[in-house]
């Protein structure tokens, strides 16, 4: 692998070797390793005439090696979780006697199905209760207090109905200070999960017509939506069980774990921060990756980037059809409604109509699904 890395470093431009491209670069090296094993040829980097695989892998040994490499490649980057050098992972339990090794993942599973993750849609009385809880927590002396405090304060900083209308920042000093206050509060909102805070910040820049800055933040958020992440009401896979049994995660407070692994809802009420194009959508909770692609579409729409608009809608459609970070028919129905809005903005009436129909089939609630009304206007 070291030799292959040397060769590929020489082949690829320096601009590709960035942290955000780590996984793709790693997988490129891994696929090259498979190629070298298939042809039993891996030239030494400093002495190219020296074949490191020469007369070393052939026949049954070569088939065995390739079989293992094909299996590892099927896992994608997650194959590193099977490495003894990374961690001493627990084996997948084959009987009930090994069940206890998965007690921590099971507790995470219960939390993923609890109401803890939907506090952002809490009613005012419940918010008041949480404020009292925060006050009591602050009076305690627990070493975990900073995580609990950061979690709840992060959620409150994201309550969009607490924000007041923001004027033109070029008017005066006080308005400029208000602008910085928004930014500070939204940055605090990034502390309770891996994605929703950054998407809320992207929404703020979008509303300020800073579309390029919004696109930069959206890209950062999308890169965080990787397969190992957790989301509301999901079922843990074997890979997730293995991941959560890693020493680094087992010893991590749950609030800190959310910040690394949780992909939370986007919750934007009808307020200063809500995009105008979503004002007609009754539900205010959106799957994060769905919202990210739609917000990216809106930015390109206002920048008049036609090709990027279509690309964003295609990615949004693939995301919905693949159930990517989307749990349940209701959220999938909301997602199709959003997709229909995008097609409607571009003038694709038939595509919009089909999206609204799919939304209604999945979420047949005329009171809370505006796709009914939109579809009637198209017919």
CA distance 20 to 222: 11
Q: Mean pLDDT of residues grouped by 10 in the chain (379 residues)?
A: 92 87 88 91 91 86 86 75 52 36 68 64 52 59 63 70 51 69 82 88 91 93 86 82 82 80 78 79 81 95 94 92 84 92 94 94 90 88
In the block, residue with structure tokens 């769905």 = 290
- What sign results for the dihedral spanned by CA atoms 136, 138, 143, 145? positive
Helical spans, DSSP H, in the chain: 2-11, 22-39, 59-74, 103-112, 124-139, 145-157, 173-188, 196-207, 211-224, 238-244, 247-250, 254-261, 288-302, 306-321, 329-346, 349-362, 371-378
Any idea what the Cα angle at residue 223 is, between residues 217 and 227, rounded to 5°? 145
In three-state secondary structure terms, 211 is helix
Write down all domains in the chain, each with its CATH number in brackets. Answer: 2-82 (1.10.1410.40), 110-378 (no CATH)
Q: What is the pLDDT of residue 358?
A: 94
Q: What is the pLDDT of residue 4?
A: 94
CA atoms lying within 13 Å on the CB side of residue 26:
13
CA distance 81 to 339: 36
Q: What is the pLDDT of residue 100?
A: 37
């Amino acid at each position: 692998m070291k030799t292959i890395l040397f060769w590929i470093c020489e082949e690829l431009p320096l601009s590709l070797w960035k942290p955000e491209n780590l996984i793709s670069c790693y997988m490129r090296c891994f696929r090259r390793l498979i190629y070298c094993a298939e042809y039993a040829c891996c030239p030494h980097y400093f002495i190219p005439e020296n074949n490191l695989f020469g007369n070393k892998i052939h026949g049954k040994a070569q088939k065995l090696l390739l079989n293992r490499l094909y299996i590892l490649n099927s896992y994608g980057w997650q194959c590193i979780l099977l490495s003894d050098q990374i961690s001493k992972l627990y084996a997948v339990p084959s009987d009930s006697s090994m069940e206890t090794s998965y007690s921590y993942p099971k507790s995470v599973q219960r939390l993923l199905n609890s109401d803890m993750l939907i506090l952002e849609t809490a009613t005012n009385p419940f918010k008041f209760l949480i404020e009292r809880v925060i006050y009591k927590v602050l009076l305690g002396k627990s070493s975990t207090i900073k995580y609990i405090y950061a979690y709840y304060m992060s959620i409150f900083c994201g309550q969009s109905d607490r924000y007041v209308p923001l004027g033109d920042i070029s008017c005066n000093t006080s308005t400029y200070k208000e602008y910085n206050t928004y930014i500070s509060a939204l940055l605090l909102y990034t502390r309770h999960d891996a994605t929703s805070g950054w998407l809320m910040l992207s929404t703020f820049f979008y509303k300020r017509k800073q579309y390029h800055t919004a696109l930069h933040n959206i890209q950062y958020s999308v890169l965080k939506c990787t397969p190992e992440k957790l989301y509301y009401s999901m079922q843990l896979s074997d890979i997730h069980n293995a991941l959560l049994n890693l020493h680094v995660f087992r010893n991590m407070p749950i609030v800190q774990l959310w910040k690394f692994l949780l992909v939370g809802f986007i919750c934007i009420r009808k307020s200063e921060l809500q995009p105008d194009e979503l004002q007609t959508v009754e539900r205010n909770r959106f799957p994060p990756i769905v919202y990210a692609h739609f917000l990216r579409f809106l930015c390109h729409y206002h920048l008049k980037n036609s090709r990027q608009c279509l690309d964003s809608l295609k990615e949004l459609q693939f995301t919905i059809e693949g159930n990517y970070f989307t749990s349940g028919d209701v959220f999938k129905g909301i997602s199709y409604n959003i997709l229909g809005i995008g097609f409607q903005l571009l003038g694709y009436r038939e595509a919009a109509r089909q999206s609204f129909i799919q939304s209604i089939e999945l979420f047949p609630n005329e009171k809370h699904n505006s796709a009914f009304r939109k579809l009637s206007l198209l017919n």
